[in-house]
Every structure is written in structure tokens, then in C-alpha cells.
Structure 1
Amino acid sequence: MLSMSIVTSQTIYDESKVPTFEVPDPLVTFGGEKINSVRKWEKVRRPELLKFFENNVYGKLPKALKIDSYTILEQDNNALNGKAKRKQVQLTFKNNDKILSFTILLYLPKNLDKAPVFLGYNFYGNHTITEDKAVLISTAWANNNEDFGIENHTLIEESRGKRTHRWAVEKILDAGYGLATIYYGEVDPDKNDFSDGVHNLLYQQTQRQPKPDEWGSIAAWSWGMVRALDYFEKDPEIDATKVISFGHSRLGKTSLWAGATDVRFAGVISNNSGCGGAALSKRKFGETVGRINTSFPHWFCDNFDQYSDNEEALPVDQHQLLALIAPRPLYVASAQEDEWADPKGEFLSSYYASSVYELYGKKGIGTMEMPKVNEPIQNTVAYHIRTGKHDVTDYDWENYIKWANAFVK
């Protein structure tokens, strides 16, 4: 265990008030055994860490649920003024006499036979990421949003293109990557109700909600990313060996868990993912485990509640989640004004995960000193903190593309 510095229970935004806490060593087992080889990491330490996160943080899937069928709802080989191929693919799942479907919006560069792809969820429908009129509007439940004209939990035409600034579609295509996005509410609506998403397909006869160690919404959304990857392996236009999971905020937590649970993801990006994502829980800076479990009780499994306002009892921390992604490339990004997500905690998590990457001979974050704002560290483990707020910007995408070119493509 590595010791760090100094106590309180209100929201902490002052480094001098961060409690003293222990950083559990990723390379020492729960039983105290030192891990000094890749083989031991993969056979002993990685499985026990994965199992702990599965049973006590995100929740495990009750059983496998694979794609029943997929349908290409729409495609155009001359989309975005001739720049891209567009495809809208619906994946359907059936179990317990119930059906769930979600739609992947795909933009692929025209000049490539097989494209590497960034895969990420969006918050308000596929039609919000682009002005493209051909993109279908989801009929799934949505959070109301006055700015987007969303009321009665219904997505509408008025919100088309409202989130184009978060998705640098042209930059991604110009760099020779495809973009795949899914409206997360189609997989599991983001509310504390486990009756209307994918969970419902896997309940036992009288079950109405997941068991204490079973999946919350983050694990359900991660499952959806993994199923999208299953589809990509069937699509001849996609290089399924070069799919990068991407996510912002709660969906950054999701992209990390997807990358940890499925080693087929070639790289993982966490954008401003904060508590329960990249940020260290034990620092208790900004959002805490207690706050997140109170505000969003459906995101994690019920077993995680035992660590609310009790982070010191956690035998793990989020750097060990990041370490589960090793040796695949990992990018953690923060925003200067996003104190709620604890940028320093996100950085330190990347730093402490690096010892596992080094075991593989990969270069991680070589210093405990945070980089200056807008001065990225780009190694197999990459990190930047940019100016601005909790968001995704062109600056973020420019750096993700540069890093992917060096470490994934």
C-alpha cells in the first residue's frame, strides 16, 4: 500500500482537506502476494480484481445474452456530402418472451475497405450528434431537457444536431476512422427503474430488480458496447480488431468497464468520467461514493452501497479498474473547471495504474506531477487536462486521434 495525504464529510474542493488514504497496490494480491510477472498478473491478480469490481461495484451479468438478429435499417454510401458511408443497424435481443433492440449509427470513411472505429454512447439520441436529416430518431424514453425541447420523455426533431460540438465527425473521418454511436437510453433508460431496459430480459420468474451483486445501469450500458463489438466482427467494412471504446461522464465510466470486461477493445478513452470512473474514490474530492450512490442508485450494484461514506473500507480503488485494461492503450482526460469529477484524482489513478502497464513493457504516466493544462502526456497510458468545463471538445478529439494513430491504428 502507498500512503498519501490529510479529513471531512462535506464536498471537498480544497487539497489541504483531502483525507489521508491508502492506495492499494495493483501488483499485490488481496492475500499479500507480490505480482512480478505478466503471467501472474493474468492468472492471479487480474481475475481477483475483475471479480471484486464485478461483484461489489458494477454488478455481474446474470447470464450471457447474445444478439438474436440484426437489421440494416438504412444505409447510404454517399453521406455527409459524399464524405462518408452511413449505416444504421438495429441489434435485437430476445429472452424470457421479451425483446430489446438498439440502433447503432455508423459513419465510415469512403476510401477504406476496413475502418478502425471509435464507439461511444450519446445522451439524447443518435440524431443529436449530427445535422444529417437521414439519422433516425429513437422512440426510447429520454430525460426531459428544456434546452433540447425534450418533454414527456420523448425525443424530437427539434433536438437534431444539438450535440454536434461533442462529436468531431469530420475530423474522425478525415483521420481514417469510423464513428459508431448508440443512444444509451435504448439499452437501459437512465432512471432508477429496472423494469424497462435490458435487465428485464434476464430476470428469474418473480424477479423485479437485480440482485445485490447483479448489474446496474453502467454494467448494462457496457454490455451494449460489447454487443456492438460482436456486430462489428460480422461487418466486413469494420476492422473489429481496432475498436476504441469512448465515453464522457457516466458514459466514460461505462467505456472503462466495457474495456475492462472485454479484452477485444483495442483501446479505451475516459473523458471526464470522475467518481466510479477514472477518479480515485478514496480521495473523497468532489463527488464521492456516497453522493453518487444517493443521486444515481441504479448505476452501480447494490453491494456498492456498503462503501458510501466508507471509501476507506474499499480494498480496491479506480486505478485498479484502469489497470484491468493493460496492456491495451488507455486515455484519461479531465477538464480544468470540472472539479466535481476530480481531475487530480483522475490523473493519479492513471499514474498508479501505470505499474501494471510497465509489467508489460509499456510506457505509462512516468510522474506524479500533473501536466500543465493543455499539455498532454501521450504514452500507452495517456492523460490531459484541458481548459474549460465538463464536456467533450474538438481539442479532446484531436488528442484522441493523435494518440490512436500512435498506439492503436
Structure 2
Amino acid sequence: MQLIMRFSFIAPALFCLVFSQTVYAQQDRQALPDPFTFNSGKKVKSVTEWERRRKEILETMTREMYGVSPERPQNVRFEVFDEDKKALGGKATRRQVTVHMAEKGKQAQFDLLIYIPNQAKRPVPAVIGLNFIGNQAIHADPGIRLTTAWVENSGMFPCAADGRATDACRGVNASQWAVDSILARGYALVTLYREEVASDRKAQAFHTGVHTLYPELQQREDNFGTIAAWAWALSRGMDYLETDKDIDAKRVAVFGFSRLGKAALWAGATDQRFAAVLSNESGAGGGKQFRRGVGEDINRLCTVFPHWFARNLGKYKGKDTELPFDQHFVLALIAPRPVYLATAEDDKNADPPGEFATARAADAVYRFLGTNGFPNGPFPAPNQPLTGQIGFHIRPGGHDVKMFDWIQFLNFSDLHLQK
């Protein structure tokens, strides 16, 4: 019995050691592109030179993968259409804002749902993120306006009628949004619905939302893709937050899960106003390292989700292990701001070791810029977060957002965003 108990403690540690050595071995076999090497072959030797190299990396990732994004629209207007200072039983002030945008006679809009903790001293830090089913889905609060955009009626969320949200959609996605915990920690929560921004349906891609403002950006190989559009909308949300006296716009973390985690990372890479990035199981095109050749690949991204990325990414189908860039370049664009990559054991498409490898590969840039980077050591056991300027954890279970994830995100945010 005693021997069995001892083995039960030794086995997980031995597994993690072998697992981590495998990760490093696979990473070594596929030498990664060097973020410190200019396109000319010259090496970065100073922070000033890094800023020039950063621009090169941004140009590369924009052209070859995410696609070009427009500047802020010529006309942006914020309409606060709802405010309840005693929402959620008095715990929060609920504010709902429509972001109106106009460009060359065309218009688009989306709603922000904002909860501000009443017990916290203002202005408060905030977490902003896109949601999957509509603002009304993150909480059962009857005061949240139902989206008028298309809503999928899936087995996971069987609430829509003919593509429209109903009252049955209220709170159906609440398990992935730890609203009470976020507010209790002193953060405002800001969310917006992906379909109000840009359609995630192949047939409707580029024909709704903000894409209608910029049809000319689809007439090129580095076109304005859907991931880029979602990231761009997060920046428009930040535009509003800079005007809200109850929010400290210098302390805003951008969050995303799955495909919306890809958008959160790109938002952090392209908009340095975001003080931190929290990415949950973002996988391929997010936190996962392509060059390992494991998990979801470029061929699947470009075939099943051709609207997500620029058409240029299609050049690399079947060439994941030969890319002249990889996702540590995205983290390098975020550096030195804090970034957290979370993943789960059963999420094979997201390739947990691949996300760990990306964090490890970005460490050098973070340390070069004067931070403590990513903690040294092996691939961690489940539920054992690693926390530096780059954070990481793996938990049991599959593709989801759990309370454990939010606890780590909030702990990480406390370290970097709370005064």
C-alpha cells in the first residue's frame, strides 16, 4: 500500500518530465524563426533596434496571416442607451453602449455590455472580451438587450428561433463568464458579440457588420479577415473605454476563448493600449506553435474557416513546419506587456505542449525588454500555473472556460493591473 502511494506521487512528476523533454525535443527539431533577426539578416542589439524589428514582425504577420486592418473609422459615436446603478442585486452598475461607426456613407454598429463593480474605488481596471452567443447569453440579467444579429441554434445553445435571440438565450453561456468573481475582484467586465462585428458563417463572411465599411480591403491577398475584424472591434471598444470615467483605460486586459482567443491575442499585438492579454485555448492561429506540426493545421484553418485569416495564409497549406514565422512572433508583438496562455489536457487540436512551446519561445524577447519572462522549468502538471510576465497553465478537461481558468486569469491580472 505504501509503495502504491509513493508511486502515485512519483508517476505524475515522471510523466511531466518526459512530456516536457518531448516538447523541447520537438521544438529543437523544428528550429524557430528568430524574432531578433531582421529581414536583412542583421541581429537586434538594442531596444531601439527592437522597435524597428517589431514593425517588421507586425508587417509580416499582417501580410502573411491576419490581414490588413483599417485605421479607426472617420466617424465614431458612442450612444449610452442603458444605465442601471443597482444591477445584479446592487453589486454592479450595468451600462450598455452602442458603438456607431460610419465610413464613406456606410454604417455599422455593435453593442458593449459593461458591468462595473459598485464596491470598488473608481476608476476600475477592466477585462474586455468577445462572446459567442450574444451579450444576453453571458448572464441571466433581464436588463441586457437581446442582440438582433444572427444567433446559431446549436446543440450546445438551443435557444435561438430562426437565427434570432429569444429570452431563452439569457444566461445560456453564463458558465464561461465568471461575472460575480470578476466584479468581486474589483474589475469591470466589458463584452461584445462576435456576429454584430463580423459574421462567422462562410456564406455571410465579409457581407455583414464592420466588413461592409471596407469592401476594398477584400480585393487583396492580405485581406481584412474575420479574426482581424474581431480584434479591430476590441480596439473600438477600447476607444469607448477611454471616454468612460469609471474605467481606467490604462488597466484593461483583453480576453478571449477559442477563436475569440485568437482575436484577443491579435488585438493585444496590434493595439498597445491593452495592458494585458488573457488567451484561453486559442490553439492554431492563436497560442499554438505551428512548426511542431501537431494539432489543428493551416490546411484545416484555410479549408473549414477560410474567412478567419488573410488569403495569403493559404500559401502555407501543408507547410506548417516550414513557416518563416510562428506564434511566438505574436507574443513578441505583445511584449513586454503581460500575456497568459491557458489550455486543457483533452484539447488536442489546441495542442497544449504547442502553446507551452510558444510561451517558452517568447521568453527571450520578454527578458530582453527587462521583464522576468516565462518561468524556467518543465511542462507543468495540471492545475499548476506558471506565472511570470508570461503565464501558462493546463487543467483537466476539454475545450471550455472553467472557473479554474478565471481564477488564474484574475490572479495574474491582480499581479499586473491592480494598483
2:292 is paired with a residue whose SS is: coil
CA distance in 2, matches of 1:15, 1:262: 31
**2:336 aligned with 1:327:** yes
* Selected match of 1:173 from 179, 183, 187: 183
2:148 equivalent in structure 1 = 139
Aligned counterpart, 1:229? 238
Say whether 1:201 aligns with 2:209: no
Cα pair 2:200 2:226 within 8 Å, conserved? yes
Q: Pick the aligned partner of 2:127 from 109, 118, 121.
A: 118
CA distance in 1, matches of 2:115, 2:209: 26
8 Å Cα contact 2:24-2:357 kept in structure 1: no
Farther-moved stretch of structure 1 (192-201 vs 15-24): 15-24
Q: Does 1:186 align with 2:225?
A: no
Partner in structure 1 of residue 54 of structure 2: 46
CA distance in structure 1 between the aligned counterparts of 2:89 and 2:72, rounded to whole angstroms: 41
Tell me how far apart the structure 2 counterparts of residues 49 and 143 of structure 1 sit (CA, whole Å).
36
- What does the per-residue CA deviation read over 1:52-77, in whole Å, with 9 as the maximum and x for residues that have no partner? 01111000124542552111111100
The answer to whether the aligner puts 1:353 opposite 2:362 as a matched pair is yes
Letter in 1 for 2:42: E
Report how many residues are paired.
Answer: 392
1:370 pairs with 372, 375, 379, which one?
A: 379
Percentage of identical aligned residues: 40
Q: In the alignment, does 2:227 pair up with 1:218?
A: yes
Q: 1:392/1:156 Cα in 2 relative to 1: closer, same or farther (>3 Å)? A: same
Q: Tell me the CA shift for residue 196 of structure 1.
A: 1.4
Amino acid at match of 1:332: L
8 Å Cα contact 2:375/2:388 also seen in 1: no
Equivalent-residue separation in structure 2 for 1:118 and 1:63 (angstroms) = 23
- With over 3 angstroms needed to count, the CA separation of the structure-2 counterparts of 1:378 and 1:75, relative to structure 1, is same
Per the alignment, in what secondary structure is the counterpart of residue 149 of structure 1?
coil
- Which segment drifts farther, 150-159 or 379-388? 150-159
- Residue of structure 1 equivalent to 2:262: 253
Equivalent of residue 59 in structure 1, options 67, 80, 95: 67
TM alignment of 1:18-167, pairs within 5 A: 20-42=29-51, 44-66=52-74, 68-111=76-119, 112-146=121-155, 147-167=157-177
The Cα of 1:368 is off from its aligned counterpart by 5.7
Structure 1 residues without counterparts, runs of 5 or longer? 1-13
Contact 1:62-1:214 within 8 A present in 2 as well: no
Q: 1:260 to 1:17 in 2, by over 3 A?
A: closer
In 2, are the aligned partners of 1:243 and 1:266 still within 8 Å (CA)?
yes
Per-residue deviation, residues 276-314 of structure 1 (Å, max 9, x unmatched)? 001001112110011111110000010111011112442
- Amino acid across the alignment from 1:274: G
Aligned counterparts of 1:354 and 1:24: Cα–Cα separation in 2: 14
Matches within 5 A, 1:232-311: 232-311=241-320
Shift of 1:22: 2.2
Which of 352, 370, 385 in structure 1 is aligned with 2:394?
385
Distance in 2 (CA, whole Å) between partners of 1:150 and 1:178 is: 28
* C-alpha contact 1:18 1:284 (8 A) present in aligned 2: no
Alpha-carbon distance in structure 1 between the residues aligned to 2:57 and 2:261: 20
User: Alignment RMSD, CA only?
Assistant: 1.8
Cα distance in 2, alignment partners of residues 202 and 339 from structure 1 = 36
Q: Is the 8 A contact 1:278 1:318 kept in 2?
A: yes
Structure 2 distance, partners of 1:66, 1:109, is 33
Q: 2:3: which partner in 1?
A: none
Q: Aligned AA for 2:180?
A: E
Query: Per-residue deviation at 1:365?
Result: 1.7
Task: Give SS of 1:385's match.
Answer: strand
Check whether the contact 1:57–1:304 (CA below 8 A) recurs between aligned residues.
yes
Shift of 1:180: 0.2
Do the aligned residues in 2 keep the contact of 1:199 with 1:210 (CA within 8 Å)?
A: no
